[in-house]
Amino acid sequence: MPKKKVPKKNIEPILVDVRKPNFDYERLRKFETVNLMKMPQQEKKGVAAIIKRIVLAVFVAGIIGLVSFIGITFANIKQMKSIVEQDGSQIMQNFNSSVGALKNMEPGTAAAYLQSNTKSLANINDLVTKGLGQSIIDTLGNFIPIVKESFGLVGQVSTLNMKLLDLTNTLDDLQKNGFTYFKSNGPALIADLGKLHSLVQDLNAQAESVKNTTSYLKNMSGFFGGLDQSVGNQYLKYSSELYGWDNVLVQLTNFLNSPTPKHIAILFENPAEIRPGGGFIGSYADVSVQNGQMQNMDVRDIYDPDGQLAVKIVPPEELQATTPNWGARDSNWFFDFPTSAKTTLNFLNASKMYSEKGITFDAAIAININVVNSLLTITGPVTAPGYPTVDSSNFLEEVQRETETGTNKQAGQPKKILQVLAPILMEKLNNLSTEQASALMDALKNNIAKKDIMFYSTDPVIASFLNSSDVDGSVYQLPEGFWGNYLAVVNANIAGGKSDAFIKESVSAKVDIDTSGNTFTNVTVVRAHTGNTQTDPWWRATNNDFIQIFTEPNSSLVDMTGNSARKKYSTLDYAHSDYAVNPDLAAIQANEVFLTNFDTWQRSEFGKNVFGAWLFTKAGTTSTLAMRYQTSYGSIKNLMPGQKYTFIFERQSGVQNSLDLTINAPFKYYWLESDSPVYTYHTDDPDKRITITLTLGYQSS
């Protein structure tokens, strides 16, 4: 039977035998289970409950405070980052500019860039190390070490900048006062060199430290990435050069600060009688150095040591009809100046004038008339009793006249004028004003760029540094895989008086390149002799020029015209005499071949293929030498757009020749640099080396 439903209104959910007055039983309805064994008690607010609520409140407040602090922190970091990156961009630019200025021997300009950096870095340092900035770094640095490390980089960069600024200031002091130190204050010179040595070492270490940090941080921001690239591309790129500087500074300091005299030959080259290594060495100065400064300067005629030469050496073939014995006077025979200088010093050392005193020369510095004119332009005229006043406009003329016909010539001292004028000029140089010293430095830098000054040392460390600095006058060595052309026009005046003073030479080259990358080159050399307008006979002499055309090593001669045939030859049998052989000259002449059809010699010399011929030019006339040669590049399989072609022209020391160049691209190609199949170049006064790099583009239509 069906169950009967009972009404719920009289049923209480809480069942107790005795109800306690004033107790809220309704509140217990929300619980599913009631413990009937436990007597209900009224709730009490104890100390523990209060502490719990306080802790909860503090925790919530802390979270709110931390969130607020982080918000403020990151807002400030964003502002700091913006300032750092804005100033950092200029700092990096200044770093790069300072390196460029130093490579151009402009320490004063480099210092200006670095001083600007000093101010910017100080501002950034104040921003991140004072007040809120420091508290932010300290706080976040405890949780995120990279934050503290990133801002610590500012200090590293500041130290690097300070060291580099100190280096530039020391170099600037040497530029301004180095000559004075060398002449009369050796300790100051040695102190500056010692300071440079320490700074170079510090710079290497500091640059490496910055590089390590920026490599770690470079992905954090553009500033760190840019700084990493800047340090990497500039300072560490030149780390080997810095080590080279360090090594040469040690060697140079030891040389100059020697307790016993060291000897440097200052070779006065006269380009009026040109030779492959510069001008004819008519005179020289023996400069002795000890304890950091010059002790003595003895100016001599080159024939003085030659007159006491104890050895007999076979001269170059081109000189044999003029002189049977080779000596220091004709030693400037090699286009590669280190080879010429080594030959000159060997002759000086072999002379009884020095060998009997135990003197050997350790270095050589070649200077020509252009350098002397630069000095006289700064110092003004030089006057000595009994001699004409000389200045930059008449020095060569007056000295040459005194040498050829002066009273000292008759007394057997034709170069005495130089012995008299040299100390007067040195004294003037020792007392230059700041403006004059700056002008002189600019002039000498231009002389070095034009190859009017060249340096050589017997010390291999110093020699290597001079070569890497491109101041030793060495023949440029073509890199592996070279594609292009090399050209140098090298003259040697053999018994042609001083006629080169009135020779104007122009060189033109036209290069055609085929689709296989082979080149066909036409070279034209024009020499105009204007000495016919002069009274003195040494200017009007016929210019007897042995001219050499240096080309890339894999070239071959196609044609040569305009050259002269040499009539005079030596009859001396050197092979069966007691003459010694110069090994450098013998190595060159051993591979020599005479091309009968062209009256031309072909030989390999200093990594180049050289074509030599005679070219005679009478006063008032013009001679033209024209040659065509081709060069095969079998290593090039196919020319491609973007491929680089290079043309290199090297200037001979003492010769001012104009250069006209035309380079024609292969069929259907053009040069990106000229946006044309033809590239042209002209200069009336080339630097010691001109390098032109062109990029192939392809004409699709």
Q: What is the pLDDT of residues 273-331, one digit of tens each?
A: 999 999 999 999 999 999 999 999 999 999 999 999 989 999 999 999 999 999 999 99
> Could you give the residue ranges of the DSSP H alpha helices within 104-221?
107-129, 132-143, 145-184, 186-217
Please give the pLDDT value at position 17. 54
Q: Taking a C-beta distance cutoff of 8 angstroms, is the pair 277, 318 a contact?
A: no
Only one residue has tokens 């104009």, namely 658
Give the integer Cα–Cα distance in Å for 133 and 75. 11
Q: What is the pLDDT of residue 538?
A: 96
Mean pLDDT (the chain) is 84
Q: State the pLDDT confidence band at 369, using cuts at 50, 70 and 90.
A: very high
Q: How far apart are CA 629 and CA 31, in angstroms?
A: 111
Coil, strand or helix at 150: helix
Between the two ends of the chain, the Cα-to-Cα distance in Å is: 109
- Once rounded to an integer, what is the mean pLDDT over residues 4-18? 54
For tokens 């020699």, name the residue. 463
Place of tokens 């003085």: 304
Question: Position of tokens 């003197």?
Answer: 359
State what percent of residues in the chain have pLDDT above 70: 78
What is the rounded CA–CA span in Å between residue 277 and residue 340?
A: 6
pLDDT band at 19 (very low <50, low <70, confident <90, very high): low
Q: Which structure tokens are listed for 433?
A: 């004003």
Q: Which amino acid is at 74?
A: F
The pLDDT of residue 146 is: 43
pLDDT at 88: 62
pLDDT higher at 130 or 461: 461
Average pLDDT on 633-649 reads 91
Question: Tell me, what amino acid is at 332?
Answer: N
Q: Tokens 């610590």 identify what position?
A: 152
How would residue 31 be classed by pLDDT, with cut points 50, 70 and 90? very low
Q: Would you say residue 482 has pLDDT above 80?
A: yes
- Give the confidence band of 157 by pLDDT, cuts at 50, 70, 90: confident
Locus of tokens 């001396």 = 572
User: How many Å apart are CA 287 and CA 256, to the nearest integer?
Assistant: 12
- Decide if 312 contacts 580 (C-beta within 8 A): yes
Q: Which residue has the tokens 């010694």?
A: 580
Per-residue confidence band for 409, with pLDDT thresholds at 50, 70 and 90: confident
CA distance linking residue 400 with residue 270, whole number of Å: 10
What would the pLDDT profile of 317-368 be if each residue is shown by its tens digit?
999 999 999 999 999 999 999 999 999 999 999 999 999 999 999 999 999 9
**Total Cβ atoms within 10 A of residue 548:** 22
Taking the C-alpha atoms of residue 173 and residue 162, their distance in angstroms, rounded to an integer, is 17
- pLDDT (0 to 100) of residue 294: 94
Q: How much is the average pLDDT of 214-241? A: 61
> How many Cβ atoms sit within 10 Å of the Cβ of residue 571?
7
Instruction: Name the pLDDT band for 133 (thresholds 50, 70, 90).
Output: very low
Average pLDDT of the segment spanning 661-685? 97
CA distance 686 to 481: 26
Per-residue confidence band for 598, with pLDDT thresholds at 50, 70 and 90: very high
- The residue type found at 481 is G
Which residues have C-beta within 8 Å of that of residue 293, sequence separation ≥ 6?
Answer: 181, 182, 183, 184, 185, 186, 189, 256
Cα angle 274-275-279, degrees, rounded to a multiple of 5: 55
What is the pLDDT, as a whole number, of residue 103? 73
Range list of β-strands (E), 276-327: 278-290, 293-301
Token pair of 296, please? 């003595």
| CB half-sphere exposure, 211, CA atoms < 13 A | 16
- Count CB atoms within 10 A of the CB of residue 142: 10
Q: What is the C-alpha separation between 367 and 654, in angstroms, rounded?
A: 9
At 424-467, the pLDDT tens digits run 999 999 888 888 988 888 899 999 999 999 999 999 999 999 99
pLDDT given at position 131: 46
The band of 97, judged by pLDDT with boundaries at 50, 70 and 90, is confident
Amino acid, single-letter form, for residue 72: I
| Distance between CA atoms of residues 689 and 470, nearest Å | 10
Question: Would you say 411 and 469 are in contact if contact means Cβ atoms under 8 Å apart?
Answer: no
Return the number of other C-beta atoms located less than 10 Å from residue 86's C-beta: 12
Please report the beta strands in 394-481, taking only residues with DSSP state E, as ranges in sequence order.
453-457
149 band by pLDDT with thresholds 50, 70 and 90: very low
Residue 295 confidence (pLDDT): 94
Is 50 exceeded by the pLDDT of residue 71? Answer: no
Q: Does residue 644 or residue 95 have the better pLDDT?
A: 644
φ, ψ of residue 14 to 5 degrees: the values are: -110, 120
Question: Letter for the amino acid at 390?
Answer: V
Dist. CA 236–CA 19, nearest whole Å: 93
Give the three-class secondary structure for 691. Answer: strand
pLDDT band of 644, cuts 50, 70, 90: very high
Does 490 score more than 50 pLDDT? yes
Q: Is the dihedral of CA 446, 451, 457, 459 positive or negative?
A: positive
Assign 3-state DSSP to the chain and report helix, strand, coil percentages, each to 5: 45, 25, 30
Residues 544-575 pLDDT 10s: 999 999 999 999 999 999 999 876 677 788 88
pLDDT at 570: 79
What residues are paired with 294 via a beta bridge?
Answer: 289
Lowest mean per-residue pLDDT among 26-35, 165-174, 556-565: 26-35
Q: Quick one: pLDDT at residue 160?
A: 78
User: What mean pLDDT comes out for the span 463-491?
Assistant: 95
Q: What is the DSSP letter of 477?
A: P
112 pLDDT exceeds 90?
A: no
Task: Count CB neighbours of 639 within 10 A.
Answer: 21
